[in-house]
Amino acid sequence: MAEVIMCEPFELYNLFNQGSHVSRLAEINYLCLIDAREAQDYNRSHIITARNVKMDSEGTFLLPEAVEVDSMQHVVVYDSNTNCLQEKGRAVECAQVLAKASLCPVHLVSGGFQRFSALYPFLRTEKIMYTITELENLKIYPVEIIAGQLYMGDQEHGMDSSILKNLKISAVLNFSQTNTLESGNGNQTIHNIPVADSVMSDLYSSFERICSLIGSHISMGSRVLIVSWHGRSRCSAATIAFLMQHLKYTFEEAWKYMLKCKPSMRPNTGFLQQLSDWELHTIGTKATNISEPHF
């Protein structure tokens, strides 16, 4: 039997927003999202791609039809507002049934539909069925690094007014060398820090400024988006540097945290060495061995 564990709404949000040009939600074994609320509540509004669970005549939750739960990479369930595993609610009961069939942990969204939809109203829908084409074309948002504060994405995210509006982004840090961003109708503060995605590029000398800019915006209650051309190398290196400075993470701790948010992130080898040097600067020692295979 798989483990049942709680997850924060932003973790489910990040699952929705993996992929580059095509959403990973189109992969048939990527995400099994189950709405454990009553059918009338589900039909009124639910989180995108969620399936409503059914019960048998004895009131026991049934496994979703046409879904091989044991092959799913991610299994997530929610109800109206369950906040912990000790609550006797529909989400906990449903998660326990799913855990018997799943090979991976079953995650239960803290605060349920009420909390998630309040944070991400643009991910609510009444739509029940999706074609593969519709799933492939779902809008991919920047991933959320620090809930309600820091986001990371690609160049297109930094230019998409609907994304900036929906996420309430107030400031954008852009590391693309060839494209500068300008403040549009959303009146975001734009910081262009052009750096080539090359192992020879010097990002280290900008880490102090980067951390100061992000920290100052966050301290004022503003939301910050960090972008680079593909959203994988320069922006992830800058984000890791901030996590190390702001949260006092070691390089390895920041690396593992970032992989949970965006598994495809990948600073180039030059930036890896600079982040190792930044670790020495921020915590006074090189605690992380960047020669390990997972780097």
Bridge partners (DSSP) listed for residue 295: none
Whether residue 124 lies inside any domain: the answer is: yes
What pLDDT score was predicted for residue 184? 59
Are 157 and 118 part of one and the same domain?
Answer: no
> Do 152 and 278 sit in the same domain of this protein?
yes
Task: Give yes or no: residues 8 and 98 share one domain.
Answer: yes
- The two beta strands, 4-7 and 31-35, are unpaired
How far is it, in rounded angstroms, from Cα 228 to Cα 192? 10
Last residue within a domain, chosen from 136, 152, 177: 136
Say which DSSP state 141 is in: P
36 and 132 share one domain: yes
> Is 58 inside any structural domain?
yes
Q: Are residues 274 and 216 in the same domain?
A: yes
Same-domain check for residues 132 and 150: no
Each residue's pLDDT tens digit in the chain (295 positions)?
Answer: 899 999 999 999 999 999 988 999 999 999 999 999 999 999 999 999 999 999 998 888 998 888 899 999 999 999 999 999 998 899 999 999 999 999 999 999 999 999 999 999 999 999 999 999 999 999 999 999 999 999 999 999 999 999 999 999 999 999 998 777 876 556 899 999 999 999 999 999 999 999 999 999 999 999 999 999 999 999 999 999 999 999 999 999 999 999 999 999 999 999 999 999 999 999 999 999 999 888 8
Q: Given 117, 136, 155, which residue is the final one in a domain?
A: 136
Nearest of 170, 166, 165 to residue 150 by alpha carbon:
170
The CATH number given to whatever domain includes residue 255 is: 3.90.190.10
Closest by CA to 293, choosing from 271, 272, 262, is 272
How much is the pTM?
A: 0.95
Inside any domain, residue 295: no
Q: In whole angstroms, what separates CA 275 from the centre of its chain?
A: 22
Same domain, 250 and 125: no
Q: How many domains does the chain have?
A: 2
Rounded to whole angstroms, how far apart are CA atoms 183 and 191?
10
Q: Tell me, yes or no, whether 289 lies in a domain.
A: no
Residue 57 structural domain: 4-136
Greatest Cα pair distance, the chain, in angstroms, is 66
CA distance 13 to 36: 18
In a domain, 292, yes or no: no
**Domain end among 79, 111, 136:** 136
Q: At what angle do helices 234-246 and 207-219 cross, to 10 degrees?
A: 70
Which residues neighbour 213 within 8 Å (Cβ) at sequence distance 6 or greater? Answer: 171, 173, 191
Same domain, 12 and 106: yes
Query: For residues 115, 80, 260 and 198, what is the CA-based torsion angle, rounded to 10 degrees?
Result: -50
Regarding whether 128 and 149 lie in a shared domain, the answer is no
169, 82: one domain: no
